[in-house]
Amino acid sequence: MSKEHLKERISRRFSSTLPVLEWLPQYDRSWLRLDIVAGITVAAAVIPEGLAYASLANLPPETGLYAGLMAAIAYLFLGTSRQVMVGPTSALAILLASGVGAVAGGNSASYASLVIVTTILVGIFAVIAWAFRLGFLVHFISGSVLTGFSAGAALYIMSTQLDKLFGIEGSASGAFFWETFFGRIWYTGTHLVETNPETLAVGLAGIVLLVLGERYLPRVPSALIVVVLSIVLMSVTNLQARGVAIVGSIPSGLPSLTVPTVPSISTLGTLVPIAAALFLLSYVEGISAVETFARRRDYRTDANQELLADGGANLAAGFGGGFVVGGSMSRSALNDAVGGKTQLTNAVVALVLVVVLLFLTEMFTNLPETVLAAIVIVAVTGLIDTSEIHQLYHVSKSEFVIAMAALLGVLTVGMLWGVFVGVVLSLLVAISRVSRPSTHELGQITGTDHFVALDVYPAATTISDVFVYRVEAELFYANADTVRTDLLERLAERDSDVELVVFDLTSSSTVDFGAAQMLDKLEQKLDSRGIDLRFAGAESEVVQMFETTGLAANVGGVEPEEPIDDVIDRWRTERSSS
């Protein structure tokens, strides 16, 4: 191998691992103003949301800014999406709090250390998944499950903010029931008499302003404006003395390298499933946003590289004293709406956060906690896609039931187990679909050599002594018996004059050994009835499988990608010459 060729390979490898080396040299300077404006605008949303999500995760407010800063820097170098913004999200924050909180058992010092360990584990899982190129696995999580899970997560997160919104002392805790959505609703309802009117008034005013801002001024950083207004309000009134809780002092300065104490093996083992759930949720959130904006702006992204970006962002957030991060759909949409063109937006966001951490943290001391609750509540309403749920109900009752099962899973067993409920449901849906594929009897369009599904094109005609059959899926051991039974049942519905079954494999590019065995047994059964079996449209790998197992010889040979009409003609020629 020449030195030039070696250098080229190394350069391509670095460019694929660090996309910044590919897009930055080609950067169009005319985009700089747009990226700067978008970065400042997004940072204005990152600051209040970072503070709010840190509170949601039961962590000091500055950790939300640390997480946002470190994630933005990591994604700048590793990400492939031009619009996606990575940082703290509501769902990850509450899942982290519920999962790690149970392990920490109320010990705040232990909790903070375990959060960092868990965040680093999430990053490690993502990097391992990238190394094994497992980006395709996300496609096994069905859209209906995500719809239900997102709606359930939004309602669950809202329920965790009710005590702050109403100013109720204490929170629903202790027994498992009180940690669920229904337990929190019951607790709040039975403690309404303890509501602090001033706290509730400030919180509701914040919600109203946020909703109005989102509706009428979507490009304006309404969350930051509400934060500033509430700080001014607290500074010129005596609301704190009347029971309105504030965030308190936030330390200034940049995050320093944080190396957590490694917990015991048993504790680490307890954190692994929590980190696995967080990794899955983090990647699903991120890749959903990545694919959405890539389609909208018509450019290519890399699902596997996004695993590395997710891993790098979480490792950076963990070692930087933050917590678990993922792609934010709302902040990404804001970036897109104000004209962000490239990943350079992340650099601007990081720079703004550096300025805030160094010089402006004291401004947020008087920020009311009820306003942070309002920001969380309004932010998560976007997770409830009522139109999608309505469409599922009218289009597919089974998909609607799956979505509702995922939703109820989150509400009844919490976010952590709700994630696993969603994963299990997705796997069951995938298994159900591949084990019961769509099948058709085919008919011929008059005057042509084209064969189409009779249930789609009833005008097509069947050939009296030929039965043509197609499976719209790969053939493998899990669906082999189902396909065999379906074919025989359809064949039984035809008249007894059928002498040839043509199995069209144009939609079955692979056939595994188990399916080949099923087809061999099918050939024997049909032969005992005086019916021949032939194959059309088989790819070369499938032909090789049939030749290796001996099936090809039993059916008079199989030609690669042979059309249906040619198969029938060859069969008739063989019959007439025998």
Q: How do the pLDDT tens digits run along the chain, 578 residues long?
A: 555 555 555 555 555 689 999 999 999 999 999 999 999 989 998 999 999 999 999 999 999 999 999 999 999 999 999 999 999 999 999 999 989 998 988 787 799 999 999 999 999 999 999 999 988 777 677 778 888 888 988 899 899 899 999 999 765 555 667 778 898 899 999 999 999 999 999 999 999 999 999 899 887 888 889 999 999 999 999 999 999 999 988 999 999 998 888 889 999 999 999 999 999 999 988 888 898 888 888 888 999 999 999 999 999 999 999 999 999 988 998 888 888 999 999 999 999 999 999 999 999 999 999 999 999 999 888 888 899 999 999 998 888 988 898 899 889 988 778 878 878 888 888 788 788 899 999 999 988 889 999 998 988 999 989 999 999 999 999 999 999 999 999 999 887 789 999 999 999 999 999 999 999 999 999 999 999 999 999 999 999 999 999 999 999 899 999 999 999 999 999 888 86
Together in a domain, 322 and 402: yes
End of a domain among 430, 464, 488?
Answer: 430
> DSSP letter at 306?
H
Residues 405 and 484 grouped into a single domain: no
DSSP string, 395-447: H-HHHHHHHHHHHHHHHHHHHHHHHHHHHHHHHHHHHHHHHS--EEEEEEPTT
* Domain enclosing residue 505, as ranges: 439-577
Q: What pLDDT score does 217 carry?
A: 87
Q: Give the per-residue pLDDT at 575.
A: 87
Residues 420 and 316 reside in one and the same domain: yes
End-to-end C-alpha distance for the chain, whole angstroms: 59
User: CB neighbours (10 Å) of residue 213?
Assistant: 18
- Does 379 share its domain with 494? no
Q: What is the dihedral of CA 342, 347, 352, 358, to 10 degrees?
A: 170
Provide the pLDDT for residue 107.
81
Of 496, 385, 121, 131, residue with least CA distance to 275: 121
Q: How far is CA 34 from the centre of its chain?
A: 28
Report the DSSP beta bridge partners of residue 368.
246
Predicted pLDDT of residue 11: 53
CA distance 91 to 445: 53
Q: What is the DSSP letter of 252?
A: -
Domain total in the chain: 2
The reply to whether 329 and 458 lie within a common domain is no
Q: Are 539 and 571 in contact (CB under 8 A)?
A: no
Predicted confidence at residue 242, as pLDDT, reads 94
Q: How far apart are CA 483 and CA 430, in angstroms?
A: 17
pLDDT of residue 417: 81
Q: 150 with 217, same domain?
A: yes
- Please indicate, yes or no, whether residues 509 and 417 belong to a single structural domain of this protein: no
Do 475 and 397 fall within a single domain? no
User: Final residue of a domain: which of 394, 410, 430?
Assistant: 430
Same domain, 129 and 231: yes
* Last residue in a domain, options 365, 395, 430: 430
CATH number, residue 517:
3.30.750.24
Three-state DSSP state, 501: strand
Given this model, what pLDDT does residue 221 score? Answer: 84
d(CA 19, CA 299): 14
Q: Within this chain, do residues 489 and 420 fall inside the same structural domain, yes or no?
A: no
CB contact burial 49-69 (16+ within 10 A = b; e otherwise): bbbbbbbbbbbbbbbbbbbbb
Q: Are residues 123 and 165 in the same domain?
A: yes
Statement to judge: residues 360 and 448 lie in one domain: no
Q: What is the rounded CA–CA span in Å between residue 120 and residue 103?
A: 16
User: What does the alpha-carbon distance between residue 88 and residue 103 come to, in Å, rounded to a whole number?
Assistant: 21
